[in-house]
Structure 1
Amino acid sequence: MSKFLIGKKVEMTQKFMTDGRVVPVTKILAGPCFIVHVKNRQKDGYDAVQLGFESTKKITEPIRGHLKNLGPFRFLKEFKIEKNTNLTAGQEIKADIFKEKEKVKVTGISKGKGFQGVVKRWGFSGQPKTHGHKDQSRMPGSLGAGGEQHVKKGKKMAGRTGGEKVTVLNLEVVEVDEKNNFIYIKGAVPGRRMSLLLLQAPGEITFEKKERQDESKEKTKEPAKEQPVKESNAVSDQNQK
């Protein structure tokens, strides 16, 4: 079983530790998320949980029917789990499921860089600046002419850079702000500001049991009885006269 949550990258900042160290951290808005659907192996072929994050106004009718009465969500993401009957639709998951010094896995979409050359895309060193190279300093060079008469698939060449799914492992949780649902993670995470992130860590999600009060068992308060008003001495003397 694993813990999981959907969040958004807010910004990168720094935290001052008690021992005087300055740690670079990424501030993440983690949740609150709601369990929308729970899949099981008998009906769907695998066990998974679908989470909804961030409310929205406009959704399609099929999605509205899928969500039923759980409310419209902008993002729906699925996480595979082991067989677990403790999770049901409608439960809320917040940032407090993660603890300090815990190792998490963060998945996001890297920043898009557009069309780039081999030096920036793959880290090629380029060609020498002298001996007749002139304007060839950032060229890729030979593509393998000594082999077959075509370029093989997978050859590192210029092209579209970034905008890909990236997963970073073993990032440490520095601080958890349970009140505002913020998580501060040591180091950098993929993506630009306010981009979507998926957080996962080993463990189990636990929910606090809250006792619901039955309205029928509540005692009804009886209306207060009216007490007779005592007449003052001056009023009583006038009545006697």
Structure 2
Amino acid sequence: MSIGILGIKVGMTQIFNKEGLAYPATIIQAGPCTVTQIKTIKHHGYNAIQIGYWRVHTTCLTKAQLGHLNKVNTTALRYLAEYRVKSTEEFQLGNLVTAQDFKIGQSVHISGKKIGKGFSGCQKRHNFCRGPMSHGSKNHRQPGSIGPGTTPGRVFPGKRMAGRSRSIMSTIKNLQIIDINCSQNLIVIKGAVPGAKGSLLNIKI
């Protein structure tokens, strides 16, 4: 029943193999996740399994979210994710998805939100050219004109300007699982994954 799982990035370490070579590794606290909805072709047009992760207090969710989770008599879960499957016969509402459902040596795709680079200017964020650096120039790293004058008298939406940079979703494919700790629901991935420590990760097969 290995479909995918949600987890939290614990941090990075290094692991030595039998030859003494060190490999970078990422430790992920994966699950346990609860199956909260089963979608079928007959009712929804496609087969998929929805799982929930990270128990929270009921005040952290809306009434609509709580009503959706109450249908399967589960606790309040903050994060939901959906995975397409060929058949839903193996799954039942309320089943748990844990690190035990994965295998060492298996390849997975991991998605997460990048750390980002904070508030950045136009040159770093959009690769703008700088102005002349000679004496007397008053346009070194300024963005320049941002719009026309009286007509239309406003800045068009989508104008490339300074702001929060590169904190976007990213996916790294074909990462290898090199170790699994089923008692603590830990999965060790070879290499680095997107996101900072404590960020949410989506592990897909």
Q: Which residue of 1 aligns with 2:65?
A: 63
Whole-angstrom distance in 2 between the partners of 1:135 and 1:172: 52
TM-score of the pair, normalised by structure 2: 0.78
Residues 177-188 of structure 1: matches in 2 within 5 Å? 177-188=181-192
Whole-angstrom distance in 2 between the partners of 1:106 and 1:19: 28
| Corresponding residue SS for 2:68 | helix
Whole-angstrom distance in 1 between the partners of 2:17 and 2:129: 39
Structure 2 gaps of 5+ residues are 145-156
Whole-angstrom distance in 1 between the partners of 2:140 and 2:3: 49
Is the aligned partner of 1:47 residue 2:47?
Answer: yes
| Corresponding residue SS for 1:87 | coil
Give the RMSD, CA atoms, in angstroms.
Answer: 3.0
Question: Is contact 2:38–2:88 with CA below 8 Å preserved after alignment?
Answer: no
Q: Residue 110 of structure 1 aligns to which amino acid in structure 2?
A: K
Q: 1 or 2 for the larger relative contact order (CA 8 Å, sep ≥6)?
A: 2
| Corresponding residue SS for 2:3 | strand
Residues 208-227 of structure 1: matches in 2 within 5 Å? none
Whole-angstrom distance in 2 between the partners of 1:16 and 1:6: 27
Number of residue pairs matched by the alignment: 193
Structure 1 gaps of 5+ residues are 142-152, 202-241
Whole-angstrom distance in 1 between the partners of 2:104 and 2:143: 46
User: 1:184-230 deviations in whole A, cap 9, x for unaligned?
Assistant: 111211111111110011xxxxxxxxxxxxxxxxxxxxxxxxxxxxx
Q: Which residue of 2 aligns with 1:169?
A: 173
Q: Go from structure 1 to structure 2 and tell me whether the alpha carbon gap of 1:123 and 1:182 turns closer, same or farther (over 3 Å shift).
A: farther
| Corresponding residue SS for 1:51 | strand
Question: Is contact 1:2–1:200 with CA below 8 Å preserved after alignment?
Answer: no
Between 1:37-46 and 1:1-10, the stretch displaced more is 1-10
| Corresponding residue SS for 2:66 | helix
Residues 81-96 of structure 1: matches in 2 within 5 Å? 81-96=85-100
- Quote how far apart the aligned CAs of 1:180 are: 0.7
Residues 85-234 of structure 1: matches in 2 within 5 Å? 85-121=89-125, 158-201=162-205
Q: Residue 194 of structure 1 aligns to which amino acid in structure 2?
A: G
TM-score of the pair, normalised by structure 1: 0.68
Name which one, 1 or 2, has greater alpha-carbon Rg: 1
Question: Is contact 1:13–1:24 with CA below 8 Å preserved after alignment?
Answer: yes
Q: Residue 26 of structure 2 aligns to which amino acid in structure 1?
A: T
| Corresponding residue SS for 2:65 | helix
Whole-angstrom distance in 1 between the partners of 2:13 and 2:99: 19
- Quote how far apart the aligned CAs of 1:93 are: 0.9
